Amino acid sequence: MSIREDEEIKSAMRSIGRSGEAPAGAVAQIMATAKRRRSIGRGVGIAGAVASVAVVVAAVAAVAHVTDAQNAQPASTAEPAPADWRELTGRELGEALGWTPQQTGEQPCSGWFSGFVDEPGQEPWGFCYTAADLEAAGLPATELDQRVFAQQINGYERTPELIERVQLRMELMDLYSESELDLDRLDEIRARLRVLEGHGGLP
């Protein structure tokens, strides 16, 4: 694999991490690069490489995401979080922090936009917020915390399994950004994700 191809994969993965849905061009670029490779590491075939990339793309798209002017204004609140915030999900969690829900695409968003659906078939709504909004409410604001919080807004309960799954997805992204793919760790992560997928209530 050439240095240029390696940089193309890194660039494409960074683009995916910054966007709500994996950009079509970035996905195509990753897939084309993977197909050009005759093998990865110790002989993993092209099909395995493409499947691995697809897993990461799906994982990134599934996690609530940063938008660049497509959703709502930042929450900008200093209201402290309720003691039971870890047990809340969806609209209830955002409103407990004093945030105002807005329809997807209604206003630009410069931070995280996490959507929720109260009733099947309704137009999607959500909250736009930044790490500063979380900190102002007394919530942890590391990248992992932000992604797990986003899943809570999406409607998933904050469980150890959810936190671990989000963390593993982040590690997958990091693995694919490295010049040398750690196949042993990749297999470990895949195996663990399969176990976690057996638990109900995970995205």
> Where are the domains positioned within the chain?
3-62+163-196, 66-158
Q: Which residue has the tokens 């979080």?
A: 81
DSSP annotation of 58: H
Report d(CA 130, CA 142) in Å as an integer. Answer: 11
Query: Tens digit of pLDDT for each residue in 54-77?
Result: 434 444 444 444 443 344 455 655
112, β-bridge pairs: 66, 129
Give me the pLDDT at residue 79, please: 76
Helix (H) or strand (E) holding 154: helix 143-154
Are 22 and 65 within 8 A, CB to CB? no
Amino acid residing at 73: Q
Does this model's pTM top 0.75? My answer is no
Which residues on neighbouring strands pair with residue 102, listed in sequence order?
Answer: 126
Distances (CA, A) of 173 to 10, 64, 91, 186: 10, 15, 29, 11
Least confident span in 4-18, 25-39, 41-55, 81-95: 41-55
CB-based contacts of 152: which residues, under 8 Å, 6+ apart? 88, 89, 90, 93, 158
Predicted local confidence at residue 15, as pLDDT: 46
The model's pLDDT over 121-164, given as tens digits with 9 standing for 90+, comes to 777 899 999 999 999 999 999 999 999 999 999 999 999 999 99
